[in-house]
Amino acid sequence: MPRIRVIEKSEATGRLKEIYDELIVKRGKLAEVHTIQSLRPESIVKHIDLYLEIMFSKSELSRSEREMMAVVVSKTNGCVYCQKHHTEALNNYWKDEGKTENFRISYHNIQLNEKELTLCRFAEQLTKNPESAEKNDITEDLKNVGLSDSAILDATLVIAYFNFVNRIVLALGVELEKDLGTGYKY
């Protein structure tokens, strides 16, 4: 149950109603991670813009690689909401529920290529020990598997974004939607 007041779609008026309606058109449905921000409607707009830029813009990183990092960060932080959402999104690309669920449990449970494994390790390390980047070049392994500086920036943005969202979800008590997995546009 949310720990702050949330204005539901049925109660929304004015700009908030417009934002909710636009989200449904763009994303297929309204997520609780957005309604939790209903007291600051423009923050929802900025949030979705940031999400779309980081997760859907042109990148050397595939959509599935970005979703993998989202799951690893969320698993590391214990954010069930984001784990479930982004496991569903990852499965949209992998189309293998068993593999995807095993990945969610632990990315060590499945066969990954060297690039994917390195991205997952980077996501876990930067989430668990962000201060380690001050002491060591934690991007070295990414460079060694052929990632460009642009791809490393993209990976870092994905990881930072999900650490940000995980904290919103965990602090404010965002709960999973009852119809998770249906209706979202990937």
- For residue 136, what is the domain's CATH number? 1.20.1290.10
Q: Is the pLDDT of residue 86 over 90?
A: yes
Is 181 contained in some domain?
Answer: no
Is 80 contained in some domain?
Answer: yes
Distance, CA of 127 to CA of 117 (rounded, Å): 15
Is 94 contained in some domain?
Answer: yes
Is 98 contained in some domain?
Answer: yes
How many CB atoms sit inside 10 A of residue 99's CB?
Answer: 15
Q: Where are the alpha helices (H) located in 36-148, listed in sequence order?
A: 41-56, 63-77, 80-94, 97-105, 114-128, 132-135, 140-144
Is 42 contained in some domain?
Answer: no
Average pLDDT over every residue of 120-135? 91
Is 141 contained in some domain?
Answer: yes
- Provide the pLDDT for residue 182: 62
How many CB atoms sit inside 10 A of residue 174's CB?
Answer: 26
How long is the chain? Answer: 186
Binning pLDDT at 50, 70 and 90, where does residue 179 land? Answer: confident
Cβ atoms 166, 77 nearer than 8 A: yes
Distance, CA of 41 to CA of 35 (rounded, Å): 9
Is 37 contained in some domain?
Answer: no
Average pLDDT over every residue of 127-143? 89
Is 153 contained in some domain?
Answer: yes
State which residues form the domain around 102. Answer: 63-172
Tally of domains in the chain = 1
